[in-house]
Amino acid sequence: ALRARRPRRLLAAARALLFWALVYGYCGLCACIAGLRLLWSIGRRPGETFRRAVRENPPACLNDPSLGTHCYVRIKDSGLRFHYVAAGERGKPLMLLLHGFPEFWYSWRHQLREFKSEYRVVALDLRGYGETDAPSHKENYKLDCLITDIKDILESLGYNKCVLIGHDWGGMIAWLVAICYPEMVTKLIVVNFPHPSVFTEYILRHPSQLIKSAYYFFFQMPWFPEFMFTVNDFKVLKSLFTSQATGIGRKGCRLTAEDIEAYLYVFSQPGALTGPINHYRNIFSCLPLQHHEVIMPTLLLWGERDAFMEVDMAEITRIYVKNHFRLTILSEASHWLQQDQPDIVNKLIWTFLKEETTRKRE
């Protein structure tokens, strides 16, 4: 028996060694590429490379009353204060919205206006983002902490269940909350993020997705990723939403100059990038999952022009949902789907919610 165990232990140790060699090797490669880009920028426009505009006051769109009311809730156990924007009457069913990276509550502006007629819609700033408290140590951003945040917020708002919607990294958290606390999620809606188990398995088998997820590895480095975002007055942040490669396309609902300024204002505040990037600095020690199945009705929406996530992962996700599963892929849409195609996304969400209500009545 002991002889049989030794090869297994050696094999497990070898796999772990190869895994972490891949993580840190790819991290080093991404850092080298980022360093070369920085040197190129300094060589071409040294004056502009380190220039940053001072942004002391938020743009008016962040205080638009039609979007809802700015609120705060302090969680007893963690002591953290969370910021959120709420629309719709208290007492209505809760719809909880979890944003991605690099976003904040404002990415749900179209949904705050749309669903407040029938729901208490809450768009959260996740731990470390925007006006929500940002713990300084990266260990405070482990997936367990992020999942517990959602459970605690739900209870602090006076609810025991909700319609949970997540985009990108917020989609990752939404999947995990649905897996760990299924009694709290009546319906799950995820935008442009596959089931976490699909993601971890797919990325190791498909080099093309590994390349698209390079930022996961780059973010393992301390301070340098944050610095690269600030170069050329946050040029990387702007290009994510506006460039031809990664941004919202011509047929989409493009961000206005004020929308862009809202993002720049939030992420240009001192230390505003460290919390969001810390979310990624624990990812490789938290996956793969021990539990996989999702048991509530689930809608997965996907923009086919997503520059960061391959669409094949969307269909594979079906095998982990042990209930009604609907997948809708929008051919002309980008990664920023709920901002890119808000009318279509809102209509699809309404259809899904009413369809499930009708099924239950039957």
CA distance 186 to 145: 22
Element spanning 40, H or E = helix 2-44
Burial class (CB in 10 A: 0-12, 13-18, 19+), 165: buried
Pairing of strands 81-87, 185-191: unpaired
CA distances to 204, 228, 281 from 218, rounded to whole Å, are: 16, 11, 9
CA distance 328 to 346: 13
CA distance 322 to 235: 43
CA distance 189 to 51: 40
Residue 113: what residue type? R
CA distance 354 to 362: 12
Q: Which two tokens stand for residue 241?
A: 């939403």
Element spanning 224, H or E = helix 224-242
**Which residues are tagged catalytic?**
168, 280, 335
CA distances to 106, 111, 203, 297 from 86, rounded to whole Å, are: 11, 11, 36, 24
Longest dimension (CA), the chain: 69
Q: Which two tokens stand for residue 316?
A: 């594979």
287 neighbors 175 (Cβ within 8 angstroms): no
